[in-house]
Every structure is written in structure tokens, then in C-alpha cells.
């Protein structure tokens, strides 16, 4: 075990994957010598050479297309999109190509092994072009796996699983936690399961669901509800947005009868909608109150009013209380 922040855990995962398998490559804007604007690929070029870790020209659609071709050849490209806000020029390559590669060819070709890593989320005074949480756009796309880790341990294990997955993965990294989240991480290779949620705190009154950087926030809200009102929250980290672990959530809600979902992205069309729709259907007779969604407002991510915009612990706490008092 070693103490690592999330960037170090990611860097460590990439390092292990590249050491283990020659076909793993890392590239993206400023990813090479510089190690990426957040330094997630630090020292990898030094260690594995310019052909396996390199800068690309400034073109996200090119990066994604290049990665698709490389993966189709059998390589395992780990492509970085500098900010999730800049993944949209690559949207066609990801949604029409990456996601459909295996299906459209009848399994003649596939791009398993391909991972897009990209920092997402707000809370860093980034305004609407350095703060977006676009996971829902990808979650509507069969063929992709979408993952969001919450801490260094999760980031390393899930990233290694992503690189080893036979299916392409979008790996969203909560940049607010890059340096802020520090924890014990095994130094050796390990994987955590894709498609499995994790119950991070058991509870009996209400299920509280989130992912990524919001896990901290819902934990804080749960603590507040516990201290102030004696409410016992069961907290679930969804971890995989696609495919998502319906069973774990259903099981919890069957027990608690209440569900509050929190995410950073705007409410309308966000992934909380999918979860709420599924859960109301599967747990209809067990729900004691409406499923609550605590999300970003339906506006582009603001700057000066960021604090007001965020789905913070107070808003979450209020939703918990509302749900309990329904």
C-alpha cells in the first residue's frame, strides 16, 4: 500500500498497464513529454518511449478516430481528451464508430481495449467549458461502457479494468479530486469490476445514490442527516453509468423505500432520470416517497454563481429530509 492522490493512482495504473502489455499506448494533447496538463501521464514517455506515449495534434475527432483505428488493429489505446468539455468534436467518432464497431461488423472487428480518459466536473472555477459532466450523453449509447471513479483506489482498479475490458470505455475522472482525494492504494496490479455499484455505507431509512466527485458531497449530507435528524442513509456509488447495476440499487430501495439521486450535470436529461424511471418501475409498491433528484440547474455551468449552481450537500440534505417527511 502507498498513499496516493488520484492523479498518482491513475499514473500508476497507466504505468502498470504499459509495463504489462506492449500494446497499451497513451496519447492526447500535451500527453507526451509534458505528461498532460494535469500530469496524469507524467514520465510515461520517458519510460516507454515516444511511440507509446505521445502528443497529438490538437484535434479531438482525430484523436478518437486514430484511437478507433489503432484499437481495431488490436492495440489498447488510452486516449486522453484534455477536458470532458472538449470531447464533443469526437462525438461522432465515439457514438457512431466506437460504440457500433463490433455490432455493425457482426464481430468481424472490434475496438475493445480502447479507453478514453477525460477529466470532468466542476467546483474549480472553470465556467461552462471546464466543468461539464457529460456522462448522460454517452449513457444513451449502446456499445460503450461509462465509468466514473470516486477516489484513488477506485480510479486505479477501474482504469486497469477498463484497459483490460473487451469493450470500449469512457473513463470520466473527477478533476476536482485529482489532488484533493488521497488514500491508500495497493502498489500491485488489481482490477475492480465494471458494471457493479458499491454500497459504501449501509443504512435503513433512505438510499442515497451518486458517483464520482459527488460521493463526498452525499456523504456529507448523509452525515448531516444522521447527526441532525437521526436519519440512516444507505449510500451507493454507482461507479459504472453504463451498463449500470440495477440490481444493487433495487435491492437497496426495496429495503429503504426511499431514493435520492445526486449528480453534477443539469437535471433535464441527466442520468438520474434513467435511474428514477427504472426504480419507480421495479420498486413501485415499495416506494414510500417520490424519488428525488438533486442535480445541476438546467443552465450552462456558470462561473460567478458556481456555488449556487452546484448540487451540494445542503441541497442533498434538504432532499433527504423532504423524502423522509413526505
Partner 1 sequence: MTNPNNATNTTVHSAEFISGHALSIPTLRLLKDDGTLYDGAQEPELDKATALKMYDTMVFTRVLDERMLAAQRQGRISFYMQCLGEEAAIVGSAAALDDKDMIMAQYREQGALRYRGFSLEQFMNQLFSNEKDLGKGRQMPVHYGSKDIYYMTVSSPLGTQIPQASGYAYAQRLRGLSNVTLCYFGEGAASEGDFHAGLNMAAVHKAPVLFFCRNNGYAISTPANEQFVGDGIACRGVGYGIKTMRVDGADILAVYQATKMAREQALASNEPILLESMAYRLGAHSSSDDPSGYRSKEEEDEWRKNDPISRFRLWLINKGWLDDAADTEQTSQLRQEILDALKVAEKVAKPGIEHMITDVYAEPTQQLQQQLNELKAHIKKYPDAYPVTAGRID
Ligand X SMILES: Cc1ncc(C[n+]2csc(CCOP(=O)(O)OP(=O)(O)O)c2C)c(N)n1
Rounded Cα distance, 17 and 184, in Å: 19
Smallest separation (angstroms) from a copy of itself to the CB of 206: 15
For partner 1, which residue of 12, 45, 110, 256 counts as binding (CB under 8 A)?
Answer: 110
Q: Are 263 and 211 in contact (CB under 8 A)?
A: yes
Name the pairing type of β-strands 233-237 and 198-201: antiparallel
Rounded Cα distance, 26 and 78, in Å: 5
Cβ-Cβ contacts under 8 Å for 12 (sequence gap 6 or more): 4, 156, 185, 187
DSSP string, 308-326: HHS--HHHHHHHHHHHHT-
Smallest separation (angstroms) from partner 1 to the CB of 276: 16
Whether 216 sits among the annotated catalytic residues: the reply is no
* Count, residues near partner 1 per rule CB under 8 A: 82
Cβ proximity to ligand X, 141 vs 201, nearer residue: 141
Whether 33 sits among the annotated catalytic residues: the reply is no
For a copy of itself, which residue of 1, 58, 299, 305 counts as binding (CB under 8 A)?
Answer: 299
Subset of residues 59 to 118 that bind ligand X, contact rule: CB under 6 A:
60, 82, 86, 89
Smallest separation (angstroms) from partner 1 to the CB of 242: 9
Subset of residues 144 to 203 that bind partner 1, contact rule: CB under 8 A:
145, 166-167, 195
Chain-centroid distance of CA 232 in Å reads 26
314 binds partner 1 (CB under 8 A): yes
Residue 4 binding target from ligand X, partner 1, a copy of itself, none, CB below 5 to 8 Å by type: none
Q: Are 66 and 118 in contact (CB under 8 A)?
A: no
Smallest separation (angstroms) from a copy of itself to the CB of 163: 24
Q: Which long-range contacts (CB under 8 A, 24 or more apart) does 131-134 make?
A: 131/85, 131/301, 131/306, 132/84, 132/85, 132/265, 132/301, 133/84, 133/172, 133/212, 133/263, 133/264, 133/265, 133/296, 134/84, 134/85, 134/87, 134/88, 134/265
29 binds a copy of itself (CB under 8 A): no
Smallest separation (angstroms) from a copy of itself to the CB of 224: 23
Residues in contact with a copy of itself by the rule CB under 8 A? 61, 85, 88-89, 91-92, 95-96, 99-100, 103-104, 128-129, 136-137, 139-143, 242, 265-266, 268-278, 280-282, 284, 287, 289-293, 298-300, 326
Residues in contact with ligand X by the rule CB under 6 A? 29, 58, 60, 82, 86, 89
Amino acid at each position: 500500500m502507498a498513499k496516493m492522490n488520484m492523479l498518482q493512482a491513475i499514473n500508476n495504473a497507466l504505468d502498470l498497464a504499459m509495463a504489462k502489455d506492449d500494446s497499451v499506448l497513451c496519447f492526447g494533447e500535451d500527453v507526451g513529454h509534458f505528461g498532460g496538463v494535469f500530469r496524469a501521464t507524467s514520465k510515461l514517455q520517458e519510460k516507454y518511449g515516444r511511440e507509446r506515449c505521445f502528443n497529438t495534434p490538437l484535434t479531438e475527432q482525430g484523436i478518437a478516430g486514430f484511437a478507433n483505428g489503432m484499437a481495431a488493429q488490436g492495440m489498447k489505446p488510452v486516449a486522453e481528451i484534455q477536458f470532458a468539455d472538449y470531447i464533443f468534436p469526437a462525438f461522432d467518432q465515439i457514438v457512431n464508430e466506437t460504440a457500433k464497431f463490433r455490432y455493425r461488423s457482426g464481430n468481424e472487428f472490434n475496438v475493445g481495449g480502447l479507453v478514453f480518459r477525460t477529466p470532468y466536473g466542476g467546483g474549480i472555477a472553470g465556467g461552462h467549458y471546464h466543468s461539464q459532466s457529460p456522462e448522460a450523453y454517452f449513457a444513451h449509447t449502446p456499445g460503450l461502457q461509462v465509468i466514473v471513479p470516486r477516489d484513488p483506489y477506485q480510479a486505479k482498479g477501474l482504469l486497469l479494468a477498463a484497459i483490460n475490458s473487451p469493450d470500449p470505455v469512457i473513463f470520466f475522472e473527477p478533476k476536482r479530486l485529482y489532488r484533493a482525494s488521497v488514500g491508500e492504494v495497493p502498489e500491485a496490479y488489481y482490477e475492480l469490476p465494471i458494471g457493479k455499484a458499491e454500497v459504501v455505507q449501509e443504512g435503513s431509512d433512505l438510499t442515497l445514490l451518486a458517483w464520482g466527485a459527488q460521493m463526498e458531497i452525499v456523504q456529507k449530507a448523509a452525515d448531516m442527516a444522521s447527526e441532525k435528524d437521526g436519519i440512516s442513509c444507505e449510500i451507493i456509488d454507482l461507479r459504472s453509468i453504463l451498463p449500470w447495476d440495477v440490481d444493487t440499487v433495487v435491492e437497496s430501495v426495496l429495503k429503504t423505500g426511499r431514493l435520492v439521486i445526486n449528480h453534477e450535470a443539469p437535471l433535464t436529461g441527466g442520468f438520474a432520470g434513467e435511474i428514477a424511471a427504472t426504480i419507480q418501475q421495479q420498486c413501485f409498491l415499495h416506494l414510500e416517497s417520490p424519488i428525488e433528484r438533486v442535480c445541476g440547474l438546467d443552465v450552462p455551468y456558470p462561473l460567478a454563481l458556481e456555488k449556487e449552481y452546484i448540487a451540494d450537500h445542503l441541497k442533498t440534505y434538504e432532499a433527504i429530509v423532504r423524502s423522509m417527511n413526505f
